[in-house]
């Protein structure tokens, strides 16, 4: 027999004390969703089951005890830190879920400039760590758009990536050691070593688990020397995305790693760069690092770009102003909310990745299909922002007017059909349907297609670590 709400709340209070348990209805409603459902939320419509409580863990032991309780009593746990998720990962998919929130565990435990490592609790805001590091001349190198609001636990749980990834890598390249708690209460600690070959790299069970296997309580990341004085920003306009992809590929293939390598199509570009790029694609690079390397990288990029006469260099002052305001803080979020309510126009994103030989085809097919098949679109475009030696990502941006439909129907009428097109075309072409936002709850219908025969490995992890199925039901693994 499952526990009642009151019994769940009681049991939680027993573990962490009443001060750490929140049951105010407004807060519970707000905690039943994340950015995926913001249209219905803005209209005061809450379609997801109300959680029983939010628990603010004070320490790893709290996390362990709460998970053990949930495991014994079959309570769905939604792990959370910064509440900036975009794919439904934080939605409460069953009645009486408990949000296990790590944002109170926000201590920066140690900064080690000699070993170039920093250790933080899961609730440390990335911005706070980054600000502290910069004071002493270092950086995390991690700069997702959610930086002002996101916290370390969630950033690791979703395999996040930032604007400077082409040089520094994604979070998986930055993580050294971890501490995570599993559903049975087991507290596991992975030590900080530069590398080891002592069996498979078990960190990857934790990194990207989206709260479906464990709760991350502590993270150690590499830190890097911060040398912004050596940064060289380069910007160009060009006619075709295909040319842009060619240039990105060549820069990577020749062995260069600019920190920023972004290619915007005219639609997505118009939104940001209309004051200097009229119906053109925009290519932006930043060369970063030690002086000689930054200079060599910039020089190489200029040479590669020069081979394509359609590329016209842009005064970097245009790009700098844009770049300085790229991240999303609380003010931007609040402004967006008001605009959405007034104009009934809302935008979302779908990020995918593929090898070089498929990326342009995926781009063109998806844009074409969306324009033809989805009604009321006001903007559809995309940009590539994370490149690798063997391919790149595509960040589709899609805005539409919500016409003749109730707030809770917006997802069915517009967002799911959009994702369906992009996901299916990408998987068909052999690419990946999720580049860095995570599967959440809304790309689960395609998870088996995404993995093919390797789904066996993913599936078995769930059976092994969460046999009772209490961790974030509906996330990554389909079915609730």
Q: Which two tokens stand for residue 111?
A: 């900064």
| Interface pick for other proteins out of 46, 318, 451, 455 (rule CB under 8 A) | 318
Query: What is the smallest separation between the CB atom of 354 and other proteins, expressed in angstroms?
Result: 25
> Which residue stretch of 77-85, 249-257, 268-276, 443-451 sits at the interface with other proteins (rule: CB under 8 A)?
268-276
DSSP string, 8-63: HHHHHHHHH-GGGEE--HHHHHHTT--GGGHHHHHTT---SPPPSEEEE--SHHHH
| Interface pick for other proteins out of 307, 313, 317, 480 (rule CB under 8 A) | 317
187 lies in the site for other proteins, by CB under 8 A: no
User: What residues from 376 to 395 belong to the interface with other proteins (CB under 8 A)?
Assistant: 376-380
CA dihedral sign, ordered 331, 333, 336, 337: negative
Query: What is the smallest separation between the CB atom of 238 and other proteins, expressed in angstroms?
Result: 19
Cβ neighbours of residue 185 closer than 8 Å, sequence gap 6 or more: 64, 65, 67, 68, 71
Q: Are 296 and 411 in contact (CB under 8 A)?
A: no
- Contacts with other proteins by CB under 8 A: the residue count is 36
Query: What is the smallest separation between the CB atom of 449 and other proteins, expressed in angstroms?
Result: 29
343 lies in the site for other proteins, by CB under 8 A: yes
1 lies in the site for other proteins, by CB under 8 A: no
DSSP string, 180-201: EE-TTS-EEEE---S---SSS-
Q: Which is nearer to other proteins, 136 or 341 (CB)?
A: 341
> Which residue stretch of 163-171, 294-302, 330-338, 428-436 sits at the interface with other proteins (rule: CB under 8 A)?
330-338
Q: Which two tokens stand for residue 10?
A: 């009681």
Q: Which is nearer to other proteins, 344 or 358 (CB)?
A: 344
Q: Where are the beta strands (DSSP E) in 288-411?
A: 312-313, 345-355, 377-384, 387-388, 391-401
**In whole angstroms, how large is the CA radius of gyration of the chain?**
22
Q: Which is nearer to other proteins, 107 or 449 (CB)?
A: 107
User: What residues from 34 to 53 belong to the interface with other proteins (CB under 8 A)?
Assistant: none
Residue in 395, 382, 388 with CA at minimum distance from that of residue 355 = 388
Query: What is the smallest separation between the CB atom of 343 and other proteins, expressed in angstroms?
Result: 5
Residues that bind other proteins (CB under 8 A): 148, 270, 272-275, 278, 315, 317-318, 320-322, 324-325, 329-331, 334-335, 337-339, 341-345, 371, 376-380, 399, 401
């Amino acid at each position: 027999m499952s526990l009642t709400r009151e019994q769940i709340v009681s049991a939680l209070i027993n573990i962490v004390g009443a001060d750490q348990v929140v049951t105010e209805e407004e807060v519970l409603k707000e905690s039943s969703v994340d950015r995926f459902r913001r249209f219905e939320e803005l209209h005061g419509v809450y379609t997801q089951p109300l959680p029983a409580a939010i628990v603010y863990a004070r320490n790893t032991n709290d996390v362990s005890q709460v998970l053990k309780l949930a495991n014994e009593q079959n309570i769905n746990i939604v792990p959370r830190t910064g509440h900036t998720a975009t794919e439904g990962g934080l939605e409460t998919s069953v009645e009486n879920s408990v949000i296990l929130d790590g944002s109170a565990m926000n201590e920066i435990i140690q900064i080690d400039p000699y070993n170039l490592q920093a250790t933080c609790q899961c609730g440390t805001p990335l911005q706070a760590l980054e600000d502290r590091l910069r004071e002493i001349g270092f950086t995390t190198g991690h700069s997702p758009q959610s930086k002002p609001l996101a916290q370390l636990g969630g950033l690791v749980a979703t395999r996040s990536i930032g604007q400077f990834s082409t040089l520094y890598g994604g979070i998986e390249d930055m993580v050294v050691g971890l501490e995570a708690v599993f559903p049975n209460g087991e507290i596991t600690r992975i030590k900080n070593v530069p590398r080891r070959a002592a069996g498979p790299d078990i960190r990857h069970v934790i990194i990207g688990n989206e709260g479906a296997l464990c709760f991350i309580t502590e993270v150690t990341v590499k830190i890097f020397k911060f040398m912004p004085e050596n940064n060289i920003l380069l910007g160009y306009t060009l006619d075709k995305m295909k040319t842009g992809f060619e240039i990105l590929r060549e820069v990577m293939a020749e062995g260069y790693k600019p920190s920023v390598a972004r290619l915007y199509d005219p639609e997505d570009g118009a939104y940001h760069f209309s004051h200097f790029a009229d119906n053109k694609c925009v290519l932006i690079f930043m060369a970063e690092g030690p002086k000689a390397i930054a200079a060599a990288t910039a020089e190489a990029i200029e040479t590669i770009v020069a081979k394509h006469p359609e590329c016209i260099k842009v005064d970097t002052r245009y790009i700098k102003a844009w770049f300085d305001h790229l991240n999303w803080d609380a003010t931007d979020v609040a402004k967006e909310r008001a605009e959405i309510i007034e104009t009934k126009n809302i935008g979302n994103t779908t990020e995918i990745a593929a090898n070089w030989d498929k990326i342009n085809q995926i781009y063109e097919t998806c844009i074409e299909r969306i324009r033809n098949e989805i009604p009321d679109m006001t903007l559809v475009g995309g940009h590539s922002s994370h490149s690798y030696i063997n391919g790149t990502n595509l960040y589709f941006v899609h805005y539409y007017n919500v016409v003749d439909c109730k707030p809770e129907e917006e997802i069915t009428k517009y967002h799911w059909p959009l994702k369906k097109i992009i996901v299916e075309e990408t998987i068909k072409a052999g690419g990946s349907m999720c580049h860095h936002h995570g599967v959440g709850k809304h790309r689960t219908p395609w998870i088996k297609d995404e993995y093919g025969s390797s789904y066996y490995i993913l599936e078995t992890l769930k059976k092994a670590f969460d046999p009772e199925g209490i961790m974030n039901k509906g996330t990554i693994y389909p079915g609730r």
